[in-house]
Each structure stands twice: as C-alpha cells, then as structure tokens.
Structure 1
Amino acid sequence: MPAPRPRNVRVQLPWESPAPPALPVVDVPAWTERALCAETDPDAFFPEKGESTRAAKRTCFVCEVRTECLEYALAHDERFGVWGGLSERERRKMKRSRLTVSVREAA
C-alpha cells in the first residue's frame, strides 16, 4: 500500500506546464535616470581584460551623479566595470584605505 500523500500539496498534472520562474525584483536607484552612462555604449564601462577604461572614465568625470554611483558601487561590492569613474581595482584600493582610516580612528 502506498504511503498517504500529505494534504494541501499541489501536484503538477502531466498536461500542465510548470509555472515560469519568478524574476527577481530589482530596486533601481533614482540617480540612474540622470546618469550619462545610460546614454552611451555599455561596453565602454565593462571592458574586456586589458582594454582601456579611459572613455568610460571621461564620461564619469562630467556626470552629475558620479558620487552617488561610486558610493553605490562601494556599498554593493560591485566587482566589474567602471562605476563613479573608478575601475574595480581602484574601488578595492579605496575601500581598503577607508577601512584603514576607520580602524585608526577607532583606536
């Protein structure tokens, strides 16, 4: 004798298609609407290894939301691309120096 099925369990019937997976909800910061990078080629901001970041950085340096963009990247640990005028390596260095300063201030 088969084991009884628990009540309130939905069983998918063979002729039913599975429900599509839910898409994640993404909060897009308001400042992104004013970002100059939204009007340019995204490939410039995510260059392949060894390619130049100059074009992206030039755009960032005249962008009105540069500070917000950089703070967002630092807070969300963005590991790829140019954000707020800095590459991933430059953001890592900045984050380390901020940690060093806060440790010194705490001592």
Structure 2
Amino acid sequence: MPINSTADRTAGRTALTDGELSWQETALCAQTGPELFFPEPGSSTREAKFLCGICEGREACLEYALTHDERFGVWGGLSEQERYALKRGRADRR
C-alpha cells in the first residue's frame, strides 16, 4: 500500500530512489483511503486484497514491503502474517 503524499512517503527515507517508488504513482490504493489497507484488528482484508490483485504495481509493492520490513497493513496483496510467512520461507530456502 503506498503512502498518499510524496512528503509522507519520503519522510525519513532519504535512500529511496524515484524508481523504487514509481509504482506508487499508479497504484490503485493511492485512490482509496488508507483504512482499507490498515484495518482494525480482526477486520476483513478481503477488499484490500481484491484491489491489490488487480493492481499493476502489486509485485513492486510487495517487494517494497518485504525489503523495508513493513509490519502493518496489506501490501502487495498480503497481510502482515502472510508477509512474515513469505519472508520465513525465503530465508529457509537459502
């Protein structure tokens, strides 16, 4: 899930390049409120995952979240627990 404003997404992340964040310009979540991608505990993530599934930036978003250890919300179509399991699986294959 991209952060909606340029100032927000670059705050505290001086090492980010324009190419690393270019997927955020066309991401479907940028046209939706953040509450869909950061639901209250126990709330459904179905709608967020649906939007991620049809978004062209999904893979870049997921890789960004994994690389930057995003611990909250739906990123690239995966929840926090799903990203953790994916990272663990990648580590086990090394």
Cα distance, 1:42 vs. partner?
Answer: 1.2
Q: Percent identity?
A: 58
Supply the distance in 1 between the matched residues of 2:23 and 2:32 (Cα, whole angstroms). Answer: 16
Count of aligned pairs between the two proteins: 79
2:50 equivalent among 28, 51, 58: 58
TM norm structure 2: 0.79
Supply the distance in 1 between the matched residues of 2:30 and 2:77 (Cα, whole angstroms). Answer: 14
1:67 corresponds to: 59
Query: CA 1:25/1:49 → structure 2, altered by over 3 Å: closer, same or farther?
Result: closer
1:83 equivalent among 75, 81, 85: 75
Supply the RMSD in Å over aligned alpha carbons: 1.3
User: Which structure has the greater CA radius of gyration?
Assistant: 1
Query: CA 1:60/1:100 → structure 2, altered by over 3 Å: closer, same or farther?
Result: same
Give unpaired runs (5+ residues) of structure 1. 1-23, 103-107
Supply the distance in 2 between the matched residues of 1:75 and 1:46 (Cα, whole angstroms). Answer: 19
Structure with bigger RCO (C-alpha 8 Å, 6+ apart): 2
Supply the distance in 2 between the matched residues of 1:25 and 1:83 (Cα, whole angstroms). Answer: 19
| 4+ residue segments displaced more than 3 Å | 24-28
Cα distance, 1:31 vs. partner?
Answer: 1.0
Cα distance, 1:30 vs. partner?
Answer: 1.2
Pick the structure with more helix per residue.
2
